[in-house]
Amino acid sequence: MIDVRFPTALQMMLSLALAQTEGVERLSSAELAEGVNSNPTFVRRLLVPLIQAGLVRSTMGRDGGVSLSVDAAAITLGEIYRAAMGDKRLWTGRSDIPHRCLVSCNVEQFFGNLADEVDESVVRLLGGRTLADSLLELRTLDAARV
């Protein structure tokens, strides 16, 4: 099954960054849900770890909603990834393999080490890009599209 938490959280964070640059104070979970073509309950569940990580702030009440808690230039995609994904690894190996040969006796540890390296590489790559950089890239893509 494909995990959509990070791409959805990233799209929501980009929407909040755009709102911030346009002077929009906050967006509701319903507005974010419409933008990511999902339901507000899923969006609210994704917002919880982003709030806990200090990336987003929530305002309750009739005119409530969410906004970035800091400037988009101070938020890396790596922070969003770690918040959205928690302890879940990008790849998970199999542990149900009978130990019968060199491969089957060692593949679980081998794959675990490989998965650790992949996770570290992903976080390092995403840590070098900010939300503001990404919004600028989206603007460039949009300008080229027209």
CATH of the domain at 40: 1.10.10.10
Other beta carbons less than 10 A from residue 113's beta carbon:
11
Condensed to tens digits (0 to 9), the pLDDT of residues 32-71 reads 999 999 999 999 999 999 999 999 999 988 888 999 999 9
For residue 107, the enclosing domain spans: 5-145
For the chain, how many structural domains are there in total?
A: 1
Choose among 83, 49, 89, 91: nearest CA to 66. 49
Q: What is the pTM of this model?
A: 0.89
Condensed to tens digits (0 to 9), the pLDDT of residues 3-12 reads 899 999 999 9
